[in-house]
Structure 1
Amino acid sequence: MKTLFFLKGKFCLLTIIILCNSFESNAQEFRYGDPLPDAPGLAKRGKYAVGVNTMEFTHKDQVDILNSKNGTDPLYDRNLKVEVWYPSLPKEESETVIYEEVMGTRGDTLRPLIPFQFKGRAYRDAAPVSTGKFPLVVVSHGYVGSRYLMTYLTENLTSKGYVVVAIDHTDSTFKDANAFYSTLLNRAKDIRFIIQSMTNLKNNELSNIIDSDNIGIIGYSMGGYGVLNVGGAGYSDGLTAFFGQMTGGSKAIADLTASNTEYQKMKDSRIKAVVAFAPWGMERGVWDLEGLKGLTVPTFFVAGDQDDISGYEKGIKAIYDGSINTDRYLLTYKNARHNVAPNPPPAEALQAGHHLDEYYRYAEPSWDQRKINNVNQHFVTAFLGTHLKGEDFSKYLDIPDNSNDQDWPGFVPRSSTGMELQHKKKASN
């Protein structure tokens, strides 16, 4: 009996050593978006290989707000770079892509730009699959940010059968950050333009696989500000007045206000789902209740209840509560601040000597960013799958309020803590 126990003990010890070595090996190979051991079920990647390429578009005759003077708005051709992920044929080499990024920002703080690289799980310039149609998803980063800010999510969604396009918003990236009013004006306009550009592609293999009738839009922070407007939440007249004060009298943003009859005609019926991570603006009077009534597209909000950029009770939650004409969800990370959407901090941001903001551009003080990434993958998969593909993910989305005393569907035991998922249906007429 003692011998048997000893043998079992040796076996258990050997198993533990193997598991630890395996975990250590996997940890060394971790890439943004990989599942942690407690990742919820829908966080895992789908069946498709992921191709990726870079494209550029020019939005002609746009208001050159940076050179607006005395209420006169000159025009210019606005160049936009995007990254496109799409279901692809696999290539012989490993599924590895190198993303080129920078830390720092050329904005008010003028922190020096520091180049760095990180690996993703995709094939650069792979051929797209030859059959099938896939919903289009357009992603808008924060201010400042870049098209690579949420690769954990863009790659993950693509592997599940979406064509995903992330925008570099000119004047709003790490490399070219400029006056904030450019972001205020151009964010929603850029998103609309890229939707049109991708759905009107000519002589491009991707045009054969994009399902233009089923479109989702995802935005983080100022990206959230943009996607809500594209989804139908017209800005307030108060924003027009504030914008005019910032720009010396320009009224260019009035085109995007709820009171403008032309704005009401901008709604795109092909957009079936909106995901808004920490959308900015409610505390600053960007919306009023009348404007929020225009949001009729199903919307999934994500927030930290300690958000000190967009605000929570009078910010993101107020938008959620006021959007009475749509079916909407609010996922809240308890004790989280604003960074509920980005990739984890790059390794370079952990090095001594760098400004703390390079780390806190990505990191949450009370959460493991990789955990947040996995949870986001899970719920965004469920939400987009429901509204863009007609799949039944109701068991993952219909979680009773105050349900932290039980494990959520799809979550491993004891892992669904520190979060709340609320759901409000469209108000009945």
Structure 2
Amino acid sequence: MKKNTPQRLKTAVLMLLVLFICKTNSQAQSPDSYIFGDALPDAPELSARGEYKVGVRTLEFVHKGQVDVLKSKGGVDAIYDRPLKVEVWYPANLADNEKEIVAYDQVFGVSNDPKRPLIPFQFTGRATRDAKPKTGVGSFPLIVVSHGYLGSRLLMTYLTENLASKGYVVVAIDHTESTYRDASPFQSTLLNRGKDILFVLNQIAELAKPKSKSFLEGLADANNTALIGYSMGGYGVLNAAGAGYSQQAANLFATMTGGSKAIEVRTSGNPEYIASQDNRIKAVVAFAPWGMQRGVWDAEGLKGLKVPTFFVAGSQDDISGYEDGIKAIYKGTVNSDRYLLTYMNARHNVAPNPPPAESYKPERARDYAHYSEPAWNERHINNINQHFVTAFLGIQLKHQDFGKYLLLQPNSNEKNWTGFPPRSSVGLELLHEVPAK
């Protein structure tokens, strides 16, 4: 027995070493194989990808005859043709040799800031460029996505790809003069968000019509549309869906632009704004919508939002505000069946992709901060967002039986929420209000 002990000890040590190496290699390889939006082990139930493979294409539109507020002077508005680039994700048919993988081109920096020059980078997604659309299964509900200021159409690919895999056509806009590549003064963003969203909705509706000869023909159901927006995108989707801006917002805009009244057509009570109400919009998801602290919204304007709305916020949001910001908007939209999901102790970045690996450098600290959420794991936030947006839009656009995922104890610390792995639903709050009678 004693003679074999050294050999047994040697064998045991060798086995432990092999297990250690395997575990170490596994841990080292796991982050490399992760793609934004993949479900982590503690992801809630509905964050998983859906049944469809995903295709992606880029389209370019031109909104003709728009107010060029950046060149307006003395109350006289200049006019221009406004270009808009969009990314479209959709259920696809893939050939055997096609891989569900895509490289997205993005940039760090800000075009009008010499201290933050534009630096291109790529990141990977789970979609196939220019894939054939899924046929023979009818049309899919449409979702239009609006990014923050500054941002891009690729800011939330974890969510856009995920929703497309669940049977939606998802269209994300590059809002001209509001992206990293063409950053411009804020007044363009104030004016154009709601207008851009409705224009893109109309363009997709045209491409989805019979005989359009577009890949979207018969694929997108624009009569069954949801809007998703983050920050200034949240500001835009609320306005596009019925919440008119206040007169104070119009006054602020006029001050910023030397007297332009162009935004008045998006204020509550304005006949042109009332005429623009679009009954194709069935639901809204608003991440950290901006404007309440600046008087952009008032009680009358918020009453105009009547479609079901899902708000998402951080309780420490220092951009849009929380108690007197996002939560105040939630309370004020009294004619909407509405929810408010709050990440406790989170700030403003409750919607974007996680920070890209290229931002993990001291000189890119400001770019890292543009994506990062100090108190939360960004990947976990992404999975939670996928889960709740899937539940909410599944109910509103597809009449799916997902009610149990929203009928929850408000404080997630008191009882583990339905659909969450044990001990994983902490630091969250979900409020719900029905329309006023």
TM-score, length basis structure 2: 0.93
- Indicate the residue corresponding to 1:360 in structure 2: 369
User: Please, which of 38, 48, 53 is the counterpart of residue 49 of structure 1?
Assistant: 53
Give the superposition deviation at 1:400: 2.0
- Indicate the residue corresponding to 1:112 in structure 2: 117
Aligned to 2:133, the other structure's residue is in SS state: coil
The whole-number CA distance in structure 1 between the counterparts of 2:65 and 2:178 is 19
Q: Quick check: which has more Rg, 1 or 2?
A: 2
The whole-number CA distance in structure 2 between the counterparts of 1:110 and 1:296 is 44
Spell out, residue by residue over 1:288-347, the C-alpha distance to the aligned partner (whole angstroms, 9 max, x if none). 011100000100000000000000000000000010001000000011000000000011
The count of residues paired between Structure 1 and Structure 2 equals 423
User: Please, which of 240, 243, 261 is the counterpart of residue 253 of structure 2?
Assistant: 243
Give the superposition deviation at 1:23: 4.8
- Indicate the residue corresponding to 2:5 in structure 1: none
Question: Mean Cα displacement is larger for which, 174-183 or 344-353?
Answer: 344-353
- Indicate the residue corresponding to 1:290 in structure 2: 300
Matching of residues 183-262 of structure 1 within 5 Å: 183-201=189-207, 202-262=212-272
Aligned to 1:205, the other structure's residue is in SS state: coil
Matching of residues 302-381 of structure 1 within 5 Å: 302-354=312-364, 356-381=365-390
User: Please, which of 133, 140, 152 is the counterpart of residue 146 of structure 1?
Assistant: 152
Give the superposition deviation at 1:10: 11
The whole-number CA distance in structure 2 between the counterparts of 1:40 and 1:112 is 38
Q: 1:266 to 1:353 in 2, by over 3 A?
A: same
Contact 2:412 2:427 in 1 (8 A): no
Spell out, residue by residue over 1:112-153, the C-alpha distance to the aligned partner (whole angstroms, 9 max, x if none). 101100000000000001122100000000000000000000
Q: Is residue 422 of structure 1 aligned with residue 437 of structure 2?
A: no
Matching of residues 26-45 of structure 1 within 5 Å: 26-45=30-49
What amino acid sits opposite 2:359 in the alignment? A
Contact 2:409 2:415 in 1 (8 A): no
Give the superposition deviation at 1:94: 2.1
TM-score, length basis structure 1: 0.95
The whole-number CA distance in structure 1 between the counterparts of 2:18 and 2:395 is 45
The whole-number CA distance in structure 2 between the counterparts of 1:270 and 1:30 is 36
Q: 1:127 to 1:335 in 2, by over 3 A?
A: same
The whole-number CA distance in structure 1 between the counterparts of 2:329 and 2:61 is 32
TM-align CA RMSD: 2.0
Gaps of 5+ in 2: 1-8
The whole-number CA distance in structure 1 between the counterparts of 2:216 and 2:16 is 52
Matching of residues 126-141 of structure 1 within 5 Å: 126-131=131-136, 132-141=138-147
The whole-number CA distance in structure 2 between the counterparts of 1:168 and 1:299 is 23
Q: 1:272 to 1:287 in 2, by over 3 A?
A: same
Gaps of 5+ in 1: 1-5
Spell out, residue by residue over 1:340-395, the C-alpha distance to the aligned partner (whole angstroms, 9 max, x if none). 000000111102322x2101110011111000000000000000000000101111
Give the superposition deviation at 1:221: 0.2
Give the superposition deviation at 1:403: 4.1
Contact 1:320 1:328 in 2 (8 A): yes
User: Please, which of 383, 390, 393 is the counterpart of residue 392 of structure 2?
Assistant: 383
The whole-number CA distance in structure 2 between the counterparts of 1:16 and 1:405 is 38
Q: 1:140 to 1:98 in 2, by over 3 A?
A: same
Contact 1:107 1:179 in 2 (8 A): no
Question: Mean Cα displacement is larger for which, 339-348 or 260-269?
Answer: 260-269
Give the superposition deviation at 1:24: 3.9
What amino acid sits opposite 1:300 in the alignment? F
Give the superposition deviation at 1:261: 2.2
Give the superposition deviation at 1:21: 4.5
Q: Is residue 81 of structure 1 aligned with residue 85 of structure 2?
A: yes
- Indicate the residue corresponding to 2:6 in structure 1: none
- Indicate the residue corresponding to 1:270 in structure 2: 280
